[in-house]
Amino acid sequence: MDAPRPTKDRAKRLRAQMSLPEVLLWRALKGRKLSGLHFRKQHPLGPYVLDFYCDAAKLAIEVDGGSHGFGDRPGRDERRDAWVAQQGVRTLRLSAELVLREIDDAVRTIHGFLEDPDAPPQGELPRSG
């Protein structure tokens, strides 16, 4: 699916302004370091920009900071994940804290999710509701 020009422009800006957890995870994913899979950073999909995206696995990885658990963010994230799922893409949400604290655990969580998408990932943020 293509993305509108404003979304593509936002993705380009976000690539230059990645957070520290995003930078650390990107270093672990780029260059096909994870199971030989190619990931893209700040990938536009429809009206959204995905933190990381692997087309071969149809997987979006979102690195969520603390703000994702407050206010209207959980509901917005759920709507976004549902829309992304309708496009045939699964979303794995990792806490920024996990990525900062132990990048190897974050990578193992992604690898485990790729092997068994039905298993609850250990680094995934709990959903409120």
Angle among Cα 121, 90, 35 to the nearest 5 degrees reads 70
Nearest-CA neighbor of 19 among 56, 69, 67, 79?
67
Whole-angstrom distance, CA of residue 119 vs CA of residue 89: 17
According to DSSP, the β-strands at 59-64 and 48-54 are: antiparallel
Average pLDDT over the chain, rounded to an integer: 86
- Reported as a pLDDT band with limits 50, 70 and 90, residue 66 is low
User: For domain 5-115, which CATH number applies: 3.50.50.60, 3.40.960.10, 3.10.20.740, 3.40.50.2300?
Assistant: 3.40.960.10
Whole-angstrom distance, CA of residue 44 vs CA of residue 53: 9
pLDDT at 3: 83
Instruction: Indicate yes or no: pTM above 0.95.
Output: no
What's the start-to-end Cα distance of the chain, in Å? 30
- Reported as a pLDDT band with limits 50, 70 and 90, residue 1 is low
* CB contact at 8 A, 125 and 74: no
Q: What is the largest CA-CA distance in the chain?
A: 38
Is a pLDDT exceeding 50 seen at residue 125? no
Residue owning tokens 């302004």: 17
| Residue range 36-55: mean pLDDT, rounded | 96
- Reported as a pLDDT band with limits 50, 70 and 90, residue 30 is very high
